[in-house]
Amino acid sequence: MTWEATRLPGAFGRTTLPRWMASFFLVDAADRTRFQEANEELNGLLNEQALANVPFVVLGNKIDIPTAASEDELRNALGLFSHMTYGRDAKKGDSSVRPVELFMVSVVKRMGYAEAFQWLSNFLK
């Protein structure tokens, strides 16, 4: 589980935050024992004022493991159904929804994350 990287803003302190362009949150989709912990950590970050307008790419990793959670299961476990997102095909511009999206990936098999970067590129132009 490698969400420590997304905690980096805290290390700078609230008054000296750099401007974040995007946040990546990597969850081990094959480790259901840590889904609750991941849910709390992610929702804490989503509620950070400094990250309010930052696109969140949530990566459900290790989908090459047959017992890994499905996208729906992980979305539900992380509470992502409650966050309105732009959707996979939508573009930047609708300020009423927040860019938070889940992508299922396998880092070792190099699967899935190209789509995530493609989606993110919609918000960095």
Ligand X SMILES: Nc1nc2c(ncn2[C@@H]2O[C@H](COP(=O)(O)OP(=O)(O)OP(=O)(O)O)[C@@H](O)[C@H]2O)c(=O)[nH]1
Contact positions vs ligand X (CB under 6 A)? 1-2, 28, 61-62, 64-65, 106-108
Nearer to ligand X, 27 or 86 (CB): 27
Name the one residue in this structure whose structure tokens are 């969140």.
56
Least CB distance from residue 114 to ligand X, whole Å? 14
Contact 116, 103 (CB under 8 A): yes
Nearer to ligand X, 65 or 90 (CB): 65
Nearer to ligand X, 29 or 120 (CB): 29
Name the one residue in this structure whose structure tokens are 């840590």.
34
**Strands of 100-104's sheet in order across:** 23-28, 56-61, 100-104
Least CB distance from residue 28 to ligand X, whole Å? 5
Nearer to ligand X, 77 or 86 (CB): 77
Least CB distance from residue 15 to ligand X, whole Å? 29
- Can you read off the two tokens belonging to residue 59? 């990566």
Phi, psi angle pair for 102, to nearest 5°? -100, 135
Q: How far apart are the first and last CA of the chain?
A: 30
Amino acid identity for residue 5 in this structure = A
